[in-house]
Amino acid sequence: MNILDTILSAQNGAAAREAGRAVGLSPDQASSALSALVPALAEGLQRNATQPGGLESLLGALTGGGHTRYVDDPGALTQPDTVSDGNAILGHILGSKDASRAVAGRASAQTGIGEDVLKRLLPVAASLVMGSLAKQQMGAAQPAGVTAGGGLLGMLAPLVDQNRDGSMLDDVLGQAGKLFGSR
């Protein structure tokens, strides 16, 4: 199961509904918004995890961050510390507020949901992404690998390989071109 499916099905959909409720979205709008935001977050995680020391840093955050609470207890998504934690996660994943704004802008164009609402949902979505990855890591029989077939990067791969050609490189380069070409 990829990370988006994990988020949308967490607690029988309660995590996605609660995330949407936190910013005033209906359940269908929340699913649509998360479907637009999560792939961009997965791309950022994928990119960071493949940098020197990146996977170790991600594993450290997953094992020590207490992120599973966001998936296990959807009510936690409406707490103020979720947004603070999510903003810190976004800083690591995307690197800047400009990148976060660009992600929200692209998601708004895809979904028709206001960019301001998606900016408020983004830290909650980042918290859910980390929570889902932490649950995946906890459930793994062995440490997460870096291969596309398994482990954390395997969970991210289906979101990043959007054209389903078996290679994430062309998709990541295309997204990077869109991100940096739009400035």
Residue ranges in the chain modelled with pLDDT below 70: 1, 139-183
Q: Based on the structure, what is the number of domains in the chain? A: 1
pLDDT of residue 163: 54
pLDDT of residue 34: 95
pLDDT of residue 180: 44
pLDDT of residue 155: 55
Per-residue pLDDT reduced to its tens digit, 28-69? 999 999 999 999 998 888 888 777 877 777 777 777 778 888
pLDDT of residue 112: 95
* Contacting residues for 44 by C-beta, under 8 A, at least 6 apart: 93, 94, 95, 99
- CA-to-CA dists, residue 27 to 38, 97, 116, 121, 138, angstroms: 16, 27, 18, 13, 28
DSSP type of residue 183: -
pLDDT of residue 153: 52
pLDDT of residue 159: 47
pLDDT of residue 179: 42
d(CA 135, CA 140): 9
Tell me which residue range forms the domain holding 39. Answer: 3-181
* Contacting residues for 14 by C-beta, under 8 A, at least 6 apart: 74
3-state helix, strand, coil in the chain (%, to 5): 75, 0, 25
pLDDT of residue 107: 95
d(CA 137, CA 57): 14
- Written as one letter, the residue type at 38 is V
pLDDT of residue 154: 55
Taken in order 21, 158, 87, 173, is the CA torsion positive or negative?
Answer: negative
